[in-house]
Amino acid sequence: MAQRESWATRTGFILAAVGSAVGLGNIWRFPYQVGEQGGAAFLIIYLLLIIGVGFPVILVEFVVGRHTERNPVGALKRIGSGAWTKIGWVFVTAGFVILSYYSVVAGWTLRYVLIGLQGDYSADAAPAQFGQAASGLDAVFLHALFMAAVIVIVAFGIERGIELSVKFMVPAIIIISVGLAAYAFTLEGAGEAYAYYLTPEISTIAENWTTILPAAAAQAFFTLSLGMGVMITYASYLGEDRNMASDAGIIATLDTFIAFTAGLIAFPILFAAGIEPGASGPALIFVSLAAAFAELPLGGILGAVFFATVAIAALSSAISIMEVVVAYLIDEHGISRVPATAALGVAMFLVGVPAALDLIFVSLYDGFANSILLMLGGLLLSVFVGWVVPDLAIDEIGKGIRNVGSLGRAWLWFVRVPVVLALIVLVALNALDYWSFLTGGFAEWLSTNL
Ligand code: TRP
């Protein structure tokens, strides 16, 4: 067997994992989730879940990936047996659904690049502008364009594409975001916005925990690219000398920093414009940024640069999703890379078209894939690693860590009991929420539109 590839440098691995993690989840999804769930109450729960569930589950995926040196489906076949090998199905289905609408939202960012280049951001017309950009034939076309880019990169091999894009993208996003957050700080109403974003009220949490908790958990999984085997795949190229715990820490910290900064940009701008953050939904970041760029000197160019950077961040995330599903077709069905990628891309494009025509489908897909499939994938994998292959897990986690002592056992027990129990509750709460969406908002939409 040929020598398996591995990451040339530690930074290469971290950047690729960060490239997958940092994307629309941080810049688009995070702020609107905060808005929908009432601000700081959501933020604090989210941070706790990143540390208490996200971080240990990154390590669960890392352990499986590095130990097996396989794609997620092959990995489970190698160390699991019977029904455990079927977890791969959850991963593949989640990836398929996520990418189909992820590409639609990425199309919106492309649209906002064009609007910027034409100098057409407008403070007053921002909500109406979003309505036009998000749904319709243009949105379908840009969705197709983005999906085509994903197909091309994944078809021709991801290494160079990933490395190149993340080397520029991650620093660019950080610099531009911090700059925009500094601008937002100067706005009138910033104080009020920070209070909304940063001062959690226990009473809000107590009253709304059944919706805040599952939403925050789903966001944590989505933003860290967890629950569908991306981190398994990336860690499968990792050497045994690497300390996976510290790498996971860096990835989670950078990802959280970028999401947090997106909130520091969005909320002061919304408050200054007098827009209620809770009411915007998926439009939030587009409306607020278009309004802000309209007021800035050279705002059109600046906005175009910002949205282009977001589009690149989305691309480096999208290829990580596509790669998992493609690897499955290649390994399990012996289809070669180019036709597998092309066929999947076309199928995902078609499934995504409704989302480019009506926003309700963004919620329909997003709720199903994130809140249910990703969390379920994470739960099943945690049970598997914690209870079925514990010795292997302890052995693997200790490699590359000097004086690991009893830390490996501590992590294992943490995954076995609190993480698994929390995930069971969270999956159940998310399923209930999704059910009320299906029977509420979605049923209503169906009855008015059919
Ligand atoms: N984490 C990415 C983002 O925040 C999206 C993403 C990439 C993802 N790969 C994933 C989400 C795997 C879930 C699973 O935009």
Task: Please tell me the distance between residue 317's alpha carbon and the centre of ligand 1 in angstroms.
Answer: 6
> What is the mean pLDDT of the segment spanning 12-37?
90
Highest mean pLDDT among 184-188, 284-288, 361-365: 361-365
For residue 44, pLDDT over 70 is answered with yes
Question: What pLDDT does residue 159 have?
Answer: 64
Task: Please tell me the distance between residue 230's alpha carbon and the centre of ligand 1 in angstroms.
Answer: 8
Report which ligand 1 atom has the smallest distance to the Cα of 221: 13
Please tell me the distance from the alpha carbon of residue 422 to that of residue 52, in angstroms, as a whole number.
Answer: 10
Both tokens assigned to 356 = 């480019």
Residue of the CA atom closest to atom 12 of ligand 1:
225
Q: How confident is the model over 69-82, as pLDDT tens digits?
A: 888 888 999 998 88
Task: Please tell me the distance between residue 106's alpha carbon and the centre of ligand 1 in angstroms.
Answer: 13
| Residue 74, φ and ψ in degrees, nearest 5 | -65, -35
**Residue of 33, 57, 97, 98 best suited for mutating to test ligand 1, as the one with most atoms within 8 Å of CB:** 98
Residue 135 neighbours by CB under 8 Å, 6+ apart: 356, 357, 358, 359
User: What is 233-245 written as a DSSP string?
Assistant: HHHTT--TTS-HH
For residue 3, pLDDT over 60 is answered with no
Question: What pLDDT does residue 439 have?
Answer: 95
Residue of the CA atom closest to atom 10 of ligand 1:
225
Task: Please tell me the distance between residue 226's alpha carbon and the centre of ligand 1 in angstroms.
Answer: 7
- Residue 322 confidence class, pLDDT cut points 50, 70, 90: very high
For residue 22, pLDDT over 60 is answered with yes
Report which ligand 1 atom has the smallest distance to the Cα of 318: 7
Task: Please tell me the distance between residue 255's alpha carbon and the centre of ligand 1 in angstroms.
Answer: 11
Task: Please tell me the distance between residue 82's alpha carbon and the centre of ligand 1 in angstroms.
Answer: 28
Report which ligand 1 atom has the smallest distance to the Cα of 224: 1
Task: Please tell me the distance between residue 114's alpha carbon and the centre of ligand 1 in angstroms.
Answer: 25
Residue of the CA atom closest to atom 14 of ligand 1:
225
Q: How confident is the model over 127-147, as pLDDT tens digits?
A: 899 999 999 999 999 999 999
Query: Which letter, b or e, does each residue of 246-274 get, where b requires 16 or more Cβ atoms within 10 Å of its Cβ?
Result: ebbeebbebbbebbbbbbbbbbbbbbbbe
127: number of Cβ within 10 Å: 16
Higher pLDDT, 1 or 442: 442
Q: Where are the alpha helices (DSSP H) in 274-389?
A: 284-295, 299-333, 337-357, 359-366, 375-383
Report which ligand 1 atom has the smallest distance to the Cα of 23: 15
Q: How confident is the model over 79-109, as pLDDT tens digits?
A: 988 889 889 889 999 999 999 999 999 999 9
Residue of the CA atom closest to atom 9 of ligand 1:
225
> What is the mean pLDDT of the segment spanning 44-56?
97
Task: Please tell me the distance between residue 96's alpha carbon and the centre of ligand 1 in angstroms.
Answer: 12
Q: Which residues line ligand 1 (CB under 6 A)?
A: 20-21, 23-26, 98, 222-223, 225, 227-228, 230, 317, 320-321, 374
Both tokens assigned to 286 = 């587009």
For residue 240, pLDDT over 60 is answered with yes
Residue of the CA atom closest to atom 7 of ligand 1:
317
For residue 8, pLDDT over 80 is answered with no
Task: Please tell me the distance between residue 448's alpha carbon and the centre of ligand 1 in angstroms.
Answer: 33
Question: What pLDDT does residue 162 have?
Answer: 62
Please tell me the distance from the alpha carbon of residue 393 to that of residue 75, in angstroms, as a whole number.
Answer: 13
Please provide the average confidence, as pLDDT, over all residues in the chain.
90
Q: How confident is the model over 122-132, as pLDDT tens digits?
A: 888 888 999 99
Task: Please tell me the distance between residue 3's alpha carbon and the centre of ligand 1 in angstroms.
Answer: 29
- Residue 1 confidence class, pLDDT cut points 50, 70, 90: very low
Q: From residue 39, how far is each of 198, 267, 281, 296 by CA, in Å? A: 8, 9, 13, 26
For residue 280, pLDDT over 50 is answered with yes
Both tokens assigned to 368 = 């199903």
Contact between 75 and 331 under an 8 Å Cβ cutoff? The reply is no
- Rounded to two decimals, the pTM is 0.93
Rounded to the nearest angstrom, the gap between the alpha carbon of residue 444 and the centroid of all alpha carbons in its chain is 28
Nearest one of 50, 97, 433, 417 to 216, comparing CA atoms: 50
For residue 450, pLDDT over 60 is answered with yes
**Residue of 30, 97, 102, 225 best suited for mutating to test ligand 1, as the one with most atoms within 8 Å of CB:** 225
The H or E element spanning position 82 is none
Nearest one of 159, 322, 165 to 228, comparing CA atoms: 322
Please tell me the distance from the alpha carbon of residue 322 to that of residue 336, in angstroms, as a whole number.
Answer: 14
Contact between 333 and 167 under an 8 Å Cβ cutoff? The reply is no
> What is the mean pLDDT of the segment spanning 306-324?
90
> What is the mean pLDDT of the segment spanning 383-400?
92
Task: Please tell me the distance between residue 78's alpha carbon and the centre of ligand 1 in angstroms.
Answer: 25
Question: What pLDDT does residue 7 have?
Answer: 65
Question: What pLDDT does residue 264 have?
Answer: 95
The CATH number given to 10-449 is: 1.20.1740.10
- Residue 9 confidence class, pLDDT cut points 50, 70, 90: low
Question: What pLDDT does residue 114 have?
Answer: 95
Please tell me the distance from the alpha carbon of residue 387 to that of residue 224, in angstroms, as a whole number.
Answer: 23
Question: What pLDDT does residue 165 have?
Answer: 66
- Residue 188 confidence class, pLDDT cut points 50, 70, 90: confident
Report which ligand 1 atom has the smallest distance to the Cα of 314: 15
For residue 29, pLDDT over 50 is answered with yes
Question: What pLDDT does residue 2 have?
Answer: 43
The single residue listed with the structure tokens 């100098």 is: 119
Q: From residue 238, how far is each of 5, 211, 231, 243, 318 by CA, in Å? A: 9, 37, 11, 10, 21
Residue of the CA atom closest to atom 8 of ligand 1:
225
Task: Please tell me the distance between residue 224's alpha carbon and the centre of ligand 1 in angstroms.
Answer: 6
List Cβ<8 Å contacts ≥24 apart for 141-145: 141/107, 142/107, 142/108, 142/110, 142/111, 143/103, 143/104, 143/106, 143/107, 143/349, 143/352, 143/353, 143/355, 143/356, 144/349, 145/107, 145/110
The single residue listed with the structure tokens 């090998």 is: 85
Report which ligand 1 atom has the smallest distance to the Cα of 24: 15
In which region does residue 201 sit, left (phi positive, over 0), alpha (psi from -120 to 50) or beta (all else)? beta
